[in-house]
Amino acid sequence: MSDNPIDLDALRREIDQIDDRLHDLLIQRAETVQRLASVKRSGPAMRPEREASILRRLVGRHRGPLPAGVVGRIWREIIASLTRFQSPHSVALYAAYGTIEHFDVARAHFGAARIDLHDTPVQALRAVAESAGQVIAVMPLPGSEEQAWWPLLASTDSQRPRIVARLPFLRDGTSPVEAVVVAPFGPGLSGDDASYLIIVTGYGTEISRGRLNDRLVAAGIHGQCLDSRPRGGDTLHLFEVDGLLDDQDPRLQALIAAHGDEIAQAIPVGGYARPLDLAAR
C-alpha cells in the first residue's frame, strides 16, 4: 500500500478552485467584449479572420492530455456566444428537399444561434441580403454538389453577400461534411487565406479551363477551376485561389485589360481562413 494515499477530497477541492478561476476569467472576458462593443465605431461583430487567429494561437500553444479539438469546441462556443452578445444574429441554412446534413456543422460553429431551414439557395441568400446584417447563411461547399448555387453570387453590387468562412474550421477527421458561411460583408485577412473568384466569359467565347488558368497565373493569381456553369449567353467559371481578393485588386484589373476579348468579368465572391488540420499536428 502506498505511504501517500490519494486524498480524493483534496483533489476535488482543487478542481472546484480551478473551476472558480475559469469562471472568473469567463466573466472577465465577457466584460472585456462588452467594453470592446461599446467603442467599436462600425463593422460587423462577427470577424471570422479574428476567430481563426484565436483558434490557431490556442491550438499552437496547447499541451497536455486534453485533446486540442475539445479546446477548440469550448472556444467556439465562447466566441459564438459573445459575438451574439455584441450583435444578435441567426443562421439561414440551405437544406435542399428537407435534408439537414449541414445542420450539425452549423450548430458546432454558431452555438445556440437560431437556425432557420430554407428549401432553396435563393431563399437562404435573400434572407442574408434583406436582414440588415442580422442573418448569415450556411451553404454547401461551392462546386461540390449537383445543384450549384454559387452563380447566385455573381454580382458586382458592393453590398452583395459574400463567402467569409469555411466550416468546420477545426478538422479532426470526424466530420466529412463541409460548408461555407455567406455574410453581408466581406472576409478579412487571417494570415493564411483563400478566395473564390468567378470568371465570366461572354457569349460565343470558347476558352478551356486550362487556358483560363494560364491567364490567371500570368496575372499573379494561382488556384484551380472548381466548376463551370452557363448563365444566359455567358459562362461562369468558379476558381478557388490563394490569398484574398477584393474588387479593387490590381491583378484583376490587369487581367481584364489584357484579356478583355476572352474575359468579360472577374468577380471576387469572398474567401476564408484556411481550416486547421488537427490530425496533422
- pLDDT (tens digit, 9 = 90+) per residue, 243-275? 999 999 999 999 999 998 899 999 999 999 999
Cα 276 to the center of its chain, rounded Å: 12
And the C-alpha cell for 44?
460587423
The answer on pLDDT for 1 being more than 50 is: no
- Structural contact between residues 140 and 146, judged by C-beta atoms closer than 8 angstroms: no
Using alpha carbons, list the distances in angstroms from residue 62 to 28, 37, 78: 21, 28, 17
Single-letter residue type at 196: Y
For residue 167, the cross-strand partners are 179
Amino acid at 201: T
| Grid cell in block for residue 73 | 469546441
More confident residue, 36 or 99: 36
Selected residue with higher pLDDT from 176 and 119: 119
Edge to edge, the sheet with strand 115-118 lists: 115-118, 90-94, 135-140, 179-183, 162-167, 265-273, 193-201, 234-242, 223-231
Query: What pLDDT sits at residue 204?
Result: 73
pLDDT, tens only, 223-233: 999 999 998 88
Report the relative pairing of strands 265-273 and 193-201 from DSSP bridges.
antiparallel
**Measuring CA to CA, which residue among 160, 159, 178, 225 is closest to residue 197?**
225
Least confident of 46-55, 170-179, 209-218, 245-254: 170-179
Q: Are the C-beta atoms of 102 and 179 separated by less than 8 Å?
A: yes
Going along the chain from its start, the domains and CATH numbers come out as: 193-273 (3.30.70.260)
3-state secondary structure of 58: helix
- In whole angstroms, give the CA distance from residue 98 to residue 116: 12
What percentage of the chain has pLDDT greater than the value 90?
74
155-164 tens-digit pLDDT = 888 788 999 9
- In the block, which residue shows the cell 477541492? 13
H helix count then E strand count, the chain: 7, 11
**pLDDT for residue 146:** 59
Grid cell, residue 194, equals 483563400
Give the pLDDT mean for 53-73: 95
Region of residue 98 (left: phi > 0; alpha: psi -120 to 50; beta: else): left
